[in-house]
Structure 1
Amino acid sequence: MGENPSFRDGLLAAVPTLRAFAVSLAKNADRADDLVQETLVKAWDKQDSFQPGTNLKAWLFTILRNEFYSQMRKRRREVEDSDGSITAQLSVHPSQHGSSDLTDFRKALDLLPEDQREAIILIGASGFSYEEAAEICECAVGTIKSRVSRARTRLQEILAIEGESDFGPDALSAQVTKSAVA
């Protein structure tokens, strides 16, 4: 696309009246300047669609007006969140960490002896009481408690879990989501 000096001159000549119109629409000088700038960029980009000999100023005013109303429609869909309270509610822990933790847990669970794996799944995952698990496994309640305890200890060893801080999100993720909520 070649540069058209008369088109460029027409754009420059229209800037003061475009700005005045933009201020009357936007009621804000900064937004008006942004509107004028966006209008000039769109006009320059679409100068091939302008019909020489027609009213350039009217064409520019139409672009400006359409841009203003497009921005208004867009702003209606936006939510003001100056204090960050809405954004804080949207923060989530990265799912890839949970997925890899679950994969590690499944591998560790597979390393347990069958009786311990069965007991921990009945109590921890299936939600049975010790009495119900003992009845299912046809053994004493104390035996189930012992199997669950040994399974938990062994899982902690396999997964290198030393305390509660090893559960949940990593320290950086926890700090980010905690500060976003606070």
Structure 2
Amino acid sequence: MSHRDPREEMVDYIPSLRAFARALTQNHAAADDLVQDAIVKAWANIDKYKVGTNLQAWMFTILRNTHYSNLRKHRREVEDVDGNHAAKLAEKAPQDSAMIFNDFKTAFMQLPVDQREALVLVGASGYSYEEAAEMCECAVGTMKSRVNRARTKLAELMQLDEGEDVITTEGTALASLGGSAVA
């Protein structure tokens, strides 16, 4: 017995898929979208269908699974038809980052040369304390002390709270009081 191509046979099940989708969604437009999604998934995964088995049941399973996946996804989303939620969200203006960066540069230039050098080497350039100490011809402890003093002084000059970072427009931390790198 020869079987029709399952892709051709799929069309036969659209009316019953729509009825099932309407029962699940209770909305005609959502049901039509669900059927379309299910057909696209079935078509894309036709190689997983075993010829000779119940194609309609296979498609109903895809539709049902798609529906429940959509429900799980929508539970995590906030419906905001009138835009009230979006209006409450705020984004810092780009000029704020530029102003913060300018404040950083001003504060950075107030540091002693050896502390600026230590921050650039350890923070911005990513060298280890040992490597930076070797380049500056000083002890590792001295390098650690310079970096720590520089971070503390920057925080003081910029009036930052402990652990607060200075962020550039690219989102890169420039100074961290928590001991992370300056970049």
Q: TM-score range by the shorter chain?
A: 0.5 to 0.7
CA RMSD of aligned residues (A): 3.0
Structure 2 vs 1, CA of residues 14 and 102 (structure 1 numbering), >3 Å: closer, same or farther? Answer: same
Determine the structure 2 residue equivalent to 1:118. Answer: none
Change (3 A) 1:9 1:107: closer
Tell me how far apart the structure 2 counterparts of residues 109 and 66 of structure 1 sit (CA, whole Å). Answer: 57
Is the counterpart of residue 67 in structure 1 residue 66 in structure 2? yes
Query: Which structure 1 residue ranges, 4+ long, deviate > 3 Å from structure 2?
Result: 105-112
* CA distance in structure 2 between the partners assigned to 1:84 and 1:17 by the alignment: 37
Q: Which has the higher helix share?
A: 1
Aligned to 1:15: 14
Percent of aligned positions that are identical = 43
Counterparts of 2:45 and 2:81, CA distance in 1? 36
2:99 and 2:158 map into 1 onto residues whose CA distance is: 19
The SS at the match of 1:92 is coil
Q: Which runs of 5+ in 1 are unaligned?
A: 113-124, 128-182
**For residue 101 of structure 2, what is the aligned residue in structure 1?**
103
Deviation at 1:19, TM superposition (A): 0.7
Q: Whose Rg is larger?
A: 1
1:99 is displaced (CA, Å) by: 2.9
Task: Identify the residue that residue 25 of structure 1 maps to in structure 2.
Answer: 24
Alignment length, in residue pairs? Answer: 113
Which aligned pairs between 1:140-151 and structure 2 lie closer than 5 A? none
Report the alpha carbon displacement of residue 111 of structure 1 after superposing the two structures with TM: 8.9
* Aligned residue number for residue 44 of structure 1: 43
Residue aligned with 2:47, SS? helix
Q: TM-score, normalised by structure 1?
A: 0.53
**CA deviation digits over 1:94-114, x for unaligned, max 9?**
45x3232233345567899xx
Return the TM-score normalized by structure 2. 0.53
Q: Shift of residue 61 of structure 1? A: 0.3
